């Protein structure tokens, strides 16, 4: 289909093997820059991380993402576990925005920020199940809404950092009480488990109050992870690990170019020309 599109739009005749060879050459030309982006992410103070399914010959694998305001890093892995997370981030010692997926427990709650958008779905599930636990869920949802009201005031500049802490303190105290109530009085195991999880990970719920550039959601990663989701739905994944790895590399330079406001096609052309001439190519990561 894509080779036919090349013929129809650009009158370019290319075999399947030539297309693969072209991808391999481009991948070789960007390898050093992909590593530079990975090193930059590893040194960042705050990142967002997420993962989504990817298929290799119909078998489930994973596409991982880590990003900052300046760069995006994608990495293909066969696993969705702690080892895969280590291969993505190495010995990262900043703050990680994430959901509550177990591998992220690699990082202590003091160095995580949980996504309150994900948490809202869990709270809504308590309400939707009905029964006595619904009141616990309604209380948590009300506190969640209060929290975001204060956060949005801070974003608009109506509160400074001290004001954010001041207005958030009673919400935090009430939230902790509601979580403890979920543990002690929840009639459904999922209600008790959510309350216990929030208490166990308590600092990770509120690091956005204490630290600059930390926010209460992981929406940044959610938006970026849509890219591999769209590609997967259109291409049904890859036929080999090597192909999936190249996709990860291409998405890394695409996402970083977008964040750096770099014209990607022009950059790729100059990068390839420099490689053929034996010269260092133009950098992609202009900031940081």
Which pLDDT score, from 0 to 100, does residue 18 have? Answer: 66
Instruction: Kindly give, in sequence order, each residue whose CB lies less than 8 Å from that of residue 233, ignoring residues fewer than 6 positions away.
Output: none
Which pLDDT score, from 0 to 100, does residue 23 have? Answer: 74
* Whether the Cβ atoms of residue 140 and residue 123 lie closer than 8 Å to each other: yes
Q: pLDDT-based confidence at 6, cuts 50/70/90?
A: low
Could you tell me the two tokens for 88?
């993505």
Which pLDDT score, from 0 to 100, does residue 90 have? Answer: 84
> If you average pLDDT over every residue of the chain, what do you get?
92
What angle is formed at CA 39 by the lines to CA 65 and CA 47, rounded to 5 degrees? 45
Nearest alpha carbon to residue 215 among 37, 95, 108: 95
Which pLDDT score, from 0 to 100, does residue 14 have? Answer: 66
DSSP β-ladder status, 46-56 and 59-67: antiparallel
Q: What is the mean pLDDT of residues 140-152?
A: 98
Which pLDDT score, from 0 to 100, does residue 274 have? Answer: 87
* Whether the Cβ atoms of residue 273 and residue 249 lie closer than 8 Å to each other: no
Stronger pLDDT, 55 or 19, i.e. the higher one:
55
* Whether the Cβ atoms of residue 134 and residue 127 lie closer than 8 Å to each other: yes
Which pLDDT score, from 0 to 100, does residue 251 have? Answer: 96
Q: Alpha-carbon dihedral of residues 112, 116, 122, 125, nearest 10 degrees?
A: 180
Which pLDDT score, from 0 to 100, does residue 24 have? Answer: 78
State yes or no: pLDDT of 21 exceeds 90: no
Number of H helices, E strands in the chain: 11, 5
Tell how far CA 192 is from the center of its chain. Answer: 28
Q: What is the mean pLDDT of residues 206-225?
A: 95
Stronger pLDDT, 272 or 182, i.e. the higher one:
182
Report the alpha-carbon distance of residue 148 to residue 151 in Å, rounded: 5
Region class of 217: left (phi > 0), else alpha (psi between -120 and 50), else beta = beta
Which pLDDT score, from 0 to 100, does residue 5 have? Answer: 60
């Amino acid at each position: 289909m894509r080779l036919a599109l090349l013929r129809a739009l650009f009158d370019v005749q290319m075999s399947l093997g030539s297309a693969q060879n072209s991808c391999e050459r481009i991948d070789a030309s960007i390898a050093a820059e992909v590593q530079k982006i990975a090193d930059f992410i590893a040194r960042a103070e705050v990142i967002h991380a997420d993962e989504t399914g990817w298929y290799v010959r119909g078998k489930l694998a994973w596409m991982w993402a880590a990003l900052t305001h300046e760069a995006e890093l994608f990495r293909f892995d066969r696993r969705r576990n702690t080892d895969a997370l280590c291969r993505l981030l190495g010995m990262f010692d900043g703050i990680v925005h994430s959901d509550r997926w177990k591998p992220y427990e690699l990082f202590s709650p003091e160095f995580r920020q949980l996504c309150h958008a994900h948490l809202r779905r869990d709270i809504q599930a308590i309400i939707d199940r009905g029964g006595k636990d619904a009141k616990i869920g309604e209380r948590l949802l009300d506190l969640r809404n209060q929290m975001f009201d204060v956060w949005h005031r801070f974003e608009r500049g109506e509160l400074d950092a001290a004001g954010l802490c001041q207005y958030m303190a009673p919400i935090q105290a009430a939230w902790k009480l509601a979580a403890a109530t979920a543990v002690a009085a929840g009639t459904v195991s999922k209600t008790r488990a959510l309350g216990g999880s929030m208490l166990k990970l308590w600092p990770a719920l509120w690091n956005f109050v204490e630290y600059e550039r930390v926010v209460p959601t992981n929406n940044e990663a959610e938006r970026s992870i849509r890219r591999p989701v769209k590609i997967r739905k259109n291409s049904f994944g890859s036929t080999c690990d090597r192909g999936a790895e190249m996709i990860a590399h291409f998405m890394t330079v695409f996402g970083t170019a977008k964040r750096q406001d770099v014209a990607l096609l022009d950059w790729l052309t100059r990068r390839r020309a420099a490689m053929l001439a034996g010269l260092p190519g133009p950098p992609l990561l202009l900031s940081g």
